[in-house]
Amino acid sequence: MPHITLENEFPGIRGLMAFSPATAEPLGALAEILLRSKNGLSPTERELIATHVSYLNDCFYCHNSHGEIACYYLDADRDIVDQVRKNPDTAPVSEKLKALLNIAGKVQKGGKQVTEANIIRAKENGATDKDIHDTVLIAAAFCMFNRYVDGLAAPTPEDLSTYPPRAKMVVEKGYGRHIYSKQSNEENWK
């Protein structure tokens, strides 16, 4: 049961965004920039970082939502997504991404947990300053998004089969207003 009266049936952050369109607009724009940019990190890498941080924060809705989006990008390879959630150091991803996931995990604990050694490891494995910047910002933003969802006890579907249709919609249309608007095609979100 949500801590506030949402007056909509959207799950997770979508319901919170529908409740407050004024804050939804900039939050959606931030998610669009952080997760769909093709400048530097791929959208797949970005979603994996969001999934890992959300898993560390124990945000069921966010780690399943973004894990499913990553899965969509990975041609339905849930095994990679699950490994990134739980132990990115042994996941079948690039050494660069492993180093960036390590940085993201440090940010999740606290920004000052990131050390020069973490940055050197990432750079030695091919990470650019832009990659490191975006990793830290994605991790920090997802700490906020996760706390937003869980702090207001947003409704969270436990049925994992409800996540793939939303993932497909986000991959195809992005993080725009359609994710929380009544004008959206609700059949794609059920």
Instruction: Output the CA–CA distances (angstroms, integers) from residue 26 to 21, 30, 33, 159, in the order listed.
Output: 9, 6, 11, 29
Phi, psi (rounded to 5 degrees) for 87: -155, 80
Question: What is the chain's alpha carbon radius of gyration, rounded to the nearest angstrom?
Answer: 16
What is the model's pTM?
0.93
Tens-of-pLDDT digits for all 190 residues of the chain? 889 999 888 999 999 999 999 999 999 999 999 999 999 999 999 999 999 999 999 999 999 999 999 999 999 899 999 999 999 999 999 999 999 999 999 999 999 999 999 999 999 999 999 999 999 999 999 999 999 999 999 999 999 999 999 999 999 999 977 777 665 444 443 3
How far, in Å, CA of 84 to CA of 88, rounded?
Answer: 4
Kindly state the DSSP code that residue 93 receives in the 8-state scheme.
Answer: S
The CATH code of the domain at 12-174 is: 1.20.1290.10
